[in-house]
Structure 1
């Protein structure tokens, strides 16, 4: 759904990465399966709990004013907690392998085409929590063709701190109103909107499992459906909203 927002001033499209552009869940579930877990473990639910635990940790650290943490450390701490809770005694090698699997992800079917279209007219960059190495590994494994990558490690700030959005915009030598933040996470877009960025929400089946989608659609400048696997949805639909179409 598109609102009456005027997109003519947009010069840069800034993306969240995991979940928005990549299907993290498929790679995590496959990695869990490779460890031959007990048959009683619901692997998709375990993956969702791991992801939710990560978000709980970064929001907790942000609210306490703690500095950005290496995402591998956060993922490992949450994994250890979940394995203990489930009574699964995997060793160090298995745990390291599982944490490393977050660095190897595939793009959603619409992502590469959508980004390629947007690159014709806009700066297209990533702004996401995590390390620069994580982003480089994800971009390499997924083939996502971004112009540049801004990590929380690189900017020494964590989303949803308003300063991380302002710093990214400043590095692009633009104003917030010149930029649109694209994400599958409502908290991300709410923070970006507060500093004057335009916002587009991408609905993905793996993200915002407990958010009210109708509320999100009213909060954002536009929203697109990225749940069907249709190549014209998701980021391709973002490109269409911004007038970047194939010729």
Structure 2
């Protein structure tokens, strides 16, 4: 099934501590399908050291699509994830000897695919739910998707050492637009996630493009201290220059 992606460039990614090698440009060229019908998505929680995946809200029972062809390594239930699916994708990436394993979490009902099934890119594998996805006292229907360099099953058995930011695989999706950094949305986010949004932990993709993706990748693989302040220090960007940059790219409201 063909699903139209957003046509605006990705405008931001959460960084956190990243020890896995990030081949950002290559990941974006793998041609993955978007896992949801894009018009449904209006909120997301990004990848960070405290959240090793991507949360995309969607109406309950919305179709979940496999991002790539591959083999279903697990289809079942876990108390912390609800029903979920793990697929070993056919495409591989530099620096990774194994297939990339993608998990799709929080389905209310049994998935449409079973362990050992083969799936095609864009195939429906299940439906959005909120099982195991309680945030505060309310269930929030959404898809949690994460990308791993090892086979990951239920629970939190993976770290930044073996996960990759899912947003890197969808360069045509404007996640910044989806999330919206309005005061209302920031308040909404602070109510939904474990801690308030911290702009020091967010490095906008426009800033990454400004210094160069290759240089940025090399830096993130050589340091554990990845945040805005260390970014400015690494690339010799003064506070005044930084303010001019975020004003030029129209992202000043993110760093208030």
More helix by share: 1
More strand by share: 2
Same fold (TM over 0.5): no
- How high is the TM-score relative to the length of structure 2? 0.27
- How high is the TM-score relative to the length of structure 1? 0.28
